[in-house]
Structure 1
Amino acid sequence: MTNHDEAAAVLPLTLAWVSRHLEVGERIVRIEVLHGGITAEMRRLTIATRDGSTRDLVLRSFVDLYYLGHAEDWLHREAAALSLLTGTGVPAPGLVAVDPTAAYCEYPSLLMTHLAGRTVLDDEGVETRVPLLARQLVAIHALRPAERPKEYVTLTTADTVVIPRGADAAAWEAAIDVIRRPAPPYEGRFLHRDFQPGNVLFDVPPSRAAGAQIAGVVDWAATSWGPADLDVAHCSTNLALLHGPAWGLRFAEAYEEAGGVLAAAASERLYWQVRDALACSEEVQVVAQPWREAGRTELTTRAVEKRLDAYVTALMDWTR
């Protein structure tokens, strides 16, 4: 077995656990770190099969002390979601095995199939990808699981919002006032809860950004039951920070054009859009770092803060 680098090495108990879930005669021949994740370590395992070919699996392990307290819940959610998604037409990894309490591995872990495709975070081709993202999210929200996942959770409060330096203070205070109100009533839907370009894999033909197609949706650890508006708002915020505020505002329109249904009242839609944007204010640095590692080096923490300010201001102007 060869490693792409030393950091790719899998710890002995986890390696033995993975090996027990391979087919007879299979073995791991390559391990590679997958970058871009925030909460967990991700590795691609290349498996040599009995017929001389190879296949890939993905190993997710929660090792950071900050996230270990959530690992059991998140891995149970992801395992349930991957099982649910099998055969639905939503392109997601297949579940191979899960060890949510680290009963066999050094750390809580999940083993799943590997999907082809790659994340695409560049500005080029965004006008093609936004409708694809919208259609995919509508398909996710159409799922009706026999057993609902847990109700959605939002942690941001009016007191925890971090107003960026130099921001439009009036717009931010008005936005904060929005989330002081009780959450609007809603019709529940199956939510991905972190649906955004970093968790969507695309098949992009060479030199044809306009020919992109979605190859997979990953990171189902936060699946929840709640308003469709919340998933739409989260993707909108990410698009606004990646590509500019106009694309954040555009996504809700694209979702409806794809057949999705949002809250009827503009004030209710605003509540969810603002809530997600303000939640991002608390973790701009964490959000921006994987984007820079993926090549968007111009998206410094300060640059993303400015885009967030512009987006929040646009949301509040949009309602006036």
Structure 2
Amino acid sequence: MITLTPDTRSLAVPPPARRIRRHRRIGLAQIAAGVLILMFVACFIVPAIFPLPPASGGDLIDARLPPLTPGHPLGTDALGNDMLSRSLYGGRVSFIVGIGATLIGLVVGGTLGMIAGYRGGRTDKTLGWVFDVLLAFPALILALTIAAYLGPSLMNEIWAVSIFLIPATARVARASTMSVRREEFVVAARLAGVRESTIVRRHIIPNISSPLLTFAVLQCGTAMIIEATLSFLGLGIRPPAPSWGNMMASGQQSLADTPWVVLVPGAFLFLTIGALNLLGESLRQARDER
């Protein structure tokens, strides 16, 4: 029979409480995933199926119409452009930049971090110094500098954001690789003469993929925030092409008279980032409990 002391009794969590907490986490993760799927479908599939007003080139007669106006459920901006159309098409930019930059950061940063963590020694010190230098720069300043140098375009935005994501992802991959490298099955494979490439493919990559994917979900939200900031400052996608960032920038001058011009794209961005963060945090908690 196990006797709990006052200290250990306070730390013990009864099974029903663990089940309730797990069910709550799963429920929140399902809600977050549902919101993300809904946003993705709305941005990429709905405009291709249902006829929507054009995202640019609106009629000035329809300028500044409030939400719930017939034909314009989310209103129009100062140029008569439909806010629903612009928000959906603008969401494509955020998703493309967020997913693209995250994939580049995951592949490049994950590979470099895995090499540093597995090889150790001088390789680890050199790559670690490079990661530290890149992480020393404020994320927004680094992205602004790269975007200003490359010029405003969708691909340049992806590269500018990915430069920030690479060192952070590499740090996670390095720490995870160093932990797995010390496991008995990896040591046994080395002693058995298994090639390093085989060890990495069969043992290292499968065991570090879970923390990397969890971190990538959170980084995707960060990438979308940086993209919106670049577009807001005029270093990303420029009007008339819509993005959530430049839509908020164009509406800030008339915020008092037409607040929906800023609130609508802001709400889309808030829901997407919130769902990504909630999903990433739920995945992290699930991984920690295993």
Same fold (TM over 0.5): no
Structure exhibiting the larger radius of gyration computed from Cα positions: 2
TM-score normalised by L of structure 2:
0.25
Structure (1 or 2) with the greater helix fraction: 2
Higher RCO structure, 1 or 2 (CA under 8 Å, sep 6+)? 2
Query: Which TM-score applies when normalising by structure 1?
Result: 0.23
